[in-house]
Each structure stands twice: as C-alpha cells, then as structure tokens.
Structure 1
Amino acid sequence: MDHLSLPFDPEDMLTRLRPWIETESPTYDAAAMARMVNLAAADCAAAGASIEVIPGRLGLGPSLRARFPHPDQGKPGILVSGHLDTVHPVGTLTQNPWRREGGRVYGPGIQDMKGGNFVALEAMRQIRRAGLQTKLPVTFLLTPDEEIGTPATRDLIEQEALQSACVILPEPCGADQSATIGRFAIARYNLESIGRPSHAGARLGEGRSAIALMARKIGQIEALSGEDCTFSVGVVHAGQWVNCVSSRAEGQALSMAKTDADLEDGIARMLALSETVNDVEFRITRGVTRPVWQPGQAKDLQLFELARKIGADLGWTLTHKPNGGGSDGNFTGALGVPTLDSTGLRGDGLHTLNEHVFEDSLVERARYHAGLFLNIGPETWA
C-alpha cells in the first residue's frame, strides 16, 4: 500500500474537522487557544503521536508538539509547522457558521490554516493505521501566534527547524494548487499618538487631539509605498467619549519588501515619521520582522521536485512561486532549512467572513501529504 491507495474517507474527515473549526481560536484569546490546543492534542494522540503542550508566553496561548514514533526518533526528520490561531474573534461562527454548500465548506479559519493542519494530521493517521513507515521521523509543531507575526514562538519554531531535515507548512495552496518557495520580508510597527484631553464642548481649544494627528500620519505612512516597499495601516484604536478631546490613539502598520535591504530602507523612512506636532507626540516603534526567504535555493527546489512528482501521481501539474504574504516559512526558509510552504487546502476568502475550502481538496491534499511523508528521505537531497 502507498499514498495512492490509503483509504481516506471524506465524510469521516469532515465530521472530525468540524470541531476544529467550531473551536474558535483568535490569537489574542489565550483561553480560546488553549481549548483549541487541547482538541488538537487529543486528535494527535489518537493518531499515535506522543504529545507535549508547551506553555504560552507574552499573554498568548500554548503550543503543541506531537512526535510520531519512528526507529530514528531524535534524528533530523520532517517538521510540519502550522498555526492554530485565526484572525476571527470568538463569535464569528454566527456570521460564518460551519456549513456545506455547493462543494464548499465554510467556517472561520478553515482555509488559514486549520484545514491544512488537519489533513496533514489525517495523512499521518492513515499511514499509521496502514502499518506503513515514513523514511524520516515526523513532528508536528502547532503554534498560537502566526497571525500577529509570531512574537512568542519564533525561537521555538527556529530551534525545531534547525534540528529537522526539512519543513512543510500546510498554509493554503494557490488557486492553481501551487506551492510557495520564497516569501517577501515583512516588518510590523506600533503607532502611538499622545495628545492632551479637554472637554470637547466647553474647552475645545485647550485640548490637543491624538486622533487628528494619527489621521494625518496614516496618510503619510501609506504615501511611503512604492515599487520596492509597500506600507499599510491595518489597526487603529482611539477615543472613548465623543465629548472629550482624545488624548491617546494607537495603531499598527506593516511594510513589505522583496529584499531585506529594501525593507530596512523602508523601516528607516517609517521611523523618521516620529515627531511632535502642536504638543501632540507621535511615536513609531518597530515590531516583529519576518526576514526574506529567498526563492530558488537549491535544497528548497530539490524538495519541490519530489513534491512535483507526487503531484503528478495525483494528476496535477504542480508549480511554485514566491509569495508576498508572510508565514512561519519566512523563518525556516531564511535559516536555509529546506522548506515547502502552501501545501494546504484549496479555497478562498481567507481572513474574511466568506472563508471556505473546496470539499474535494480534503482527500486530495491529505493524499498529497501522505505522499510527502512517505517519500521524503535522505536521498531527496542527494
């Protein structure tokens, strides 16, 4: 028996995937993340893995490490790096509930990337049930903070990757089933505007509006965008009472570039926008940075070549391309560890209230992961 004949059951897979989607797990809700980790840990254990729950830090939730038994346990193997956090707050299920419609399956986080994690785990479950043995040990590391740049678990991911032969990330695949080899650099920034409060009706002139300066700065930040580096502001919080001149506004921004040099130039231009205007202070501080994962590295391409052959077995013409969106593949790829990203489900609407996957991609991508797990070996890089 091989990956082409493993008995994947789509109805059973959907039944067991549903709790993963209905256990909502936004990044900033540590208790919700812990519930999701408990669910994933139980499924990993049922698939035959030994599990370790790693406590969270920085106020975020825990991580899960699941190691499958192997005669060469402890030697470099395959690391499946995934995240269990989503951008959707608890309660999003009321707006995008689990449902099957027209060959699509909906729910928050199903494409990015709970569905991909699940089918990779299902591949190992079926491999174990069939009594097959992977050439290399397989470890899953599922983390809680990718959607905010991985501030708490980057060290954990990098250390696990450095002890591995390669890394697979079941992030969503391209619309054409393509994989990702190479990702652009991304920097995040914290924005803060500090003004002076006053009564907006009786003493308006005594106040200094933090909101007003923040609004002007947003335009300046986004005007920095060019061919080499783009800038956007995605989060702003300010004000509490409409009859009070705002004394504080906070925000978050990011920039993206194809090279580390262009990103650093953009960071310098961004930080130069800090200033004090009319007694209102505007501060920009640098947040999490994802390094460039350079496309075209030889060991990545060798890993892709194996993936291409497995895709051909399944009737696909698998291609690859670099990606502007960040992932934890930025870290592992930048370290030079062979990395194959975007092996997850086909779908659309990630990060929206229309997030869904195509139902037929569950078995398709589970079989693909099984092929990777069974065929990646030392000879892949010979």
Structure 2
Amino acid sequence: MPSDPLKLPFDVDEMLCGLRPWIETESPTFDAAAVNRMMDLVQHDLATLGARVERIPGRRGLGDSVRATMPHPRAGEGGILLLGHMDTVHPIGTLSTLPFRREGDICYGPGLMDMKGGNYVYLDALRKILQAGIETPLPVTVLFTPDEEIGTPSTRDLIEAEAKRHKYILVPEPACPDGSAVIGRYAIARFNLTARGTPSHASWALSEGRSAIAEMARKVAEIEGFTTDDCSFSVGVIHGGQWVNCVSSTCDAEVLSMAKTQDLLEEGVQRMLDLNGGDDAVRLEVRRGVTRPLWQEGQPGTMAMLDVARGIASEIGFDLPACSAGGGSDGNFTGALGLATLDSIGVRGKGLHTLTEHIEVASLEERAKLAAALFCRLGR
C-alpha cells in the first residue's frame, strides 16, 4: 500500500455506495429517533475502523452524539478533532421527492451536501490511511453531533470541551460556492417571538378582536426592514391561529440575524428586544435564543492550517481560496475560542437546504485526498 496519502486508492463508486445508506437514513434535527438511527450507522462504520466509540446521550429531546477515538499509539491524547453534524433540515419523507441518485457528474440527496458528504469523505480518508498502515503524526478524534441545524443548543458545551483538548479542528462543512474554505464566520443570533391578541368571533364580533397574526405580519415587515449589507434579519418560521372563524389570539415566529461584527450583532439584538411591548389588546414578546459567536478571520493557528491545506490542494491540482463567511457552523464555537479551525473543507455542490441539494461527484476524490493529507501532515 502507498505511504503517500495523495496516492491512496480512493474510489468514487465505492464512496457513493457507502454514502447511500447515510443519505437514505433521513435525520431531521427535531426527530431524535431518526437522528439516532443515523448515529447507529455512524457508530457501526467507526467501529469497523477499529475506533473506540462512545455514544453520548442526547439532551432536551434531541438526538445522541458519537465520539470516536481512532487507533493510534497515543490514542486519547489531544491532536486533530474531526467535527461534524449528522442532523439535516429535511423532514422525513423528503426522499420521495429528492431521492439519492447519480446523474452523470452530479449526485442528489437530502443532507448529501450539508454535511453527510463531507463527513463521509473524511471518514473514508481515515479508513484508507488505516488500511495502508500509515501512522498520522497526531492522534485523531471524531465527534458527530445531532443539532447543528438549530444552532447547537444541546451540544455546544460538549463541542467546546472536546475542542479545547486538540491542536487542530477540521470541519468538513460544504465548500463555499467558489470552492473556498472558511477561516472566519459571522456572528449569529436567533429569536423567538410571540404575538398575543384579543380573540373574538371572526364574523359576529370581528371588531371586538385584535389579531395576533395581523400584529405579527406588521412586525415581519419591520424586522426584515432592519437588514443592511452588514447585518441581516430573516423571519424563517411563523405559526398562528387555530380556527378560521376566530380572530387569532397567538402567533409565533422565529427570526435569524447574522452580523459581520459582534458589535453589529449586539446592536441588532437590542433592536429586536426593543420590539417588546404593546397594549392590553395586542402585545409582542421577543425572547433571545441561541447565539453563535463571531469567529474573527486571521487567527495565526488557522492561517497556518490554511497554508498546509493550500499546499496540498496545489499538489492535487486545484486552488483553495479562503474567506470569512455568513451561515453559522460549529466552527463558530471553536474559532471563537481561538483554536486553529479550518471549516468548509468538505464536498462541493449546490442547493443545500433545498429540494435540489446535490454534490459534484468529482469533489469526493478531491476532498478525500485533501483530508488524507491533512491528517498525515498536520503536526508533522
């Protein structure tokens, strides 16, 4: 077997065959049983690599996490942490409209791009390294979590505690549209809103009621109007009313804000909290939810990792740009701690979080070679 990680025998068809059961095991965040079925698969695949695997029970009604210590003479010591999530935004049944399928150079499937594809590729790199008898300079730990898509409310402390033990953090989230890795991320805050109105019969006594739905609709326009190029506001979820013949007494919504600086985020948070209030007939309540801290671009450890990754990419034959990006990931947490973190080094594709989610098949081998060389060169 080759000793050069760039010459390991990666097989795209083999990877797609291994990925298929991962994609066909749907794992939406809020379905803990479904996420745990996915974790069963992951636990099995890690065990077949000879890893020491731990199942960490979920909290807050969410799924379990899986932590694996890969075989190594210094197994268990801090070294490289492979960090990813196994939950997706796609509800059970999405496979009926977005089945796992390959069409030429493209492969489709729910969660394939974000981020089961990247997770699988990096595990396949570890598989090939072990099969070749290559000893990585540093021991490797793998941590897969169940709740990234909702802001990581139940596993942030686990991620941060584990990451602090390691020198390098690899996060195989999907590559940016231009193929970039991510070396910084914007700050993100979530909010839960409730409008409370005055109920009445929608026909006999319409004028006696005050609609919570109407109040929320007015606030939606106001909130999204706060958006600037540097701080955005988006209302992504809204639920209200129960009977069409009743003036609604409650309406709930969820808001996401993303800012390029922590100061801008805090200003945005205050604008949202200032919306609290109303009168006896209709009121709005705003509660701050989970937050992802700013990960500042340019940290020395991360930039040194990027230099290594760019050198590897050049040997493979592709460019590896890098940027600070919107869209949160668990890299926000490790990067904000000042830990050397390289994010969005997973597969290339388009349509994440949509019914056209797909990857470029060629990126499987490309990113597997990148992964293998990173495991073998970091800490050398």
TM-score strictly above 0.5:
yes
Out of 2, 5, 14, the position equivalent to 1:3 is 5
Out of 51, 54, 65, the position equivalent to 1:52 is 54
Per-residue deviation, 1:93: 0.6
Alpha-carbon distance in 1 for matches of 2:103, 2:159: 36
Report if aligned partners of 1:149, 1:290 keep a CA contact under 8 Å in 2: yes
Per-residue deviation, 1:239: 1.4
Match of 2:65 in 1: 63
Alpha-carbon distance in 2 for matches of 1:203, 1:46: 67
Per-residue deviation, 1:355: 0.1
Alpha-carbon distance in 2 for matches of 1:2, 1:175: 29
Report if aligned partners of 1:30, 1:59 keep a CA contact under 8 Å in 2: yes
The AA in structure 2 aligned to 1:243 is N
Match of 1:102 in 2: 104
Out of 262, 268, 271, the position equivalent to 2:270 is 268
Residues 325-382 of structure 1, C-alpha deviation per residue, up to 9 Å, x if partnerless? Answer: 11100000000110000110011000000000011111111111001001111x5xxx
Q: Mapping of 1:183-198 within 5 angstroms?
A: 183-198=185-200
User: How much identity, in percent, do the aligned residues show?
Assistant: 58
List alignment gaps of at least 5 residues for structure 2. none
Report if aligned partners of 1:84, 1:114 keep a CA contact under 8 Å in 2: yes
Match of 2:217 in 1: 215
Instruction: State the number of aligned residues.
Output: 378
Per-residue deviation, 1:277: 4.1
Report if aligned partners of 2:76, 2:141 keep a CA contact under 8 Å in 1: no
Alpha-carbon distance in 2 for matches of 1:199, 1:31: 41
Q: Mapping of 1:281-320 within 5 angstroms?
A: 281-320=283-322
Residues 240-297 of structure 1, C-alpha deviation per residue, up to 9 Å, x if partnerless? Answer: 2111111111110011111111111111111101111461120001001111100011
TM-score (norm 2): 0.97
Alpha-carbon distance in 2 for matches of 1:171, 1:74: 24
The AA in structure 1 aligned to 2:160 is E
TM-score (norm 1): 0.97
Between 311-320 and 161-170, report the one with greater CA deviation. 311-320
Report if aligned partners of 1:111, 1:346 keep a CA contact under 8 Å in 2: yes
Match of 2:86 in 1: 84
Any idea what SS the aligned residue of 2:157 has? helix
Any idea what SS the aligned residue of 2:41 has? helix
The AA in structure 2 aligned to 1:262 is L
Deviant stretches of 4+, over 6 Å:
none
Alpha-carbon distance in 1 for matches of 2:149, 2:279: 33
Match of 1:340 in 2: 342
Any idea what SS the aligned residue of 2:59 has? coil
Match of 2:170 in 1: 168
Alpha-carbon distance in 2 for matches of 1:372, 1:162: 19
Alpha-carbon distance in 2 for matches of 1:229, 1:178: 22
Alpha-carbon distance in 1 for matches of 2:21, 2:76: 32
Report if aligned partners of 1:208, 1:278 keep a CA contact under 8 Å in 2: no
Q: Mapping of 1:241-280 within 5 angstroms?
A: 241-277=243-279, 279-280=281-282
Per-residue deviation, 1:107: 0.5
Out of 228, 234, 246, the position equivalent to 2:236 is 234
Any idea what SS the aligned residue of 1:4 has? helix
Between 154-163 and 74-83, report the one with greater CA deviation. 74-83
User: Cα RMSD (Å) of the superposition?
Assistant: 1.1
Report if aligned partners of 2:69, 2:76 keep a CA contact under 8 Å in 1: no
Alpha-carbon distance in 2 for matches of 1:332, 1:63: 17
Per-residue deviation, 1:208: 2.0
Per-residue deviation, 1:229: 1.7
Out of 13, 16, 39, the position equivalent to 1:14 is 16
List alignment gaps of at least 5 residues for structure 1. none
Match of 1:357 in 2: 359
Alpha-carbon distance in 2 for matches of 1:97, 1:278: 50
The AA in structure 2 aligned to 1:254 is L
Residues 98-146 of structure 1, C-alpha deviation per residue, up to 9 Å, x if partnerless? Answer: 1111211000000000000000000001111111111111111100111
Alpha-carbon distance in 2 for matches of 1:14, 1:299: 33
Q: Mapping of 1:317-332 within 5 angstroms?
A: 317-332=319-334
The AA in structure 1 aligned to 2:331 is G
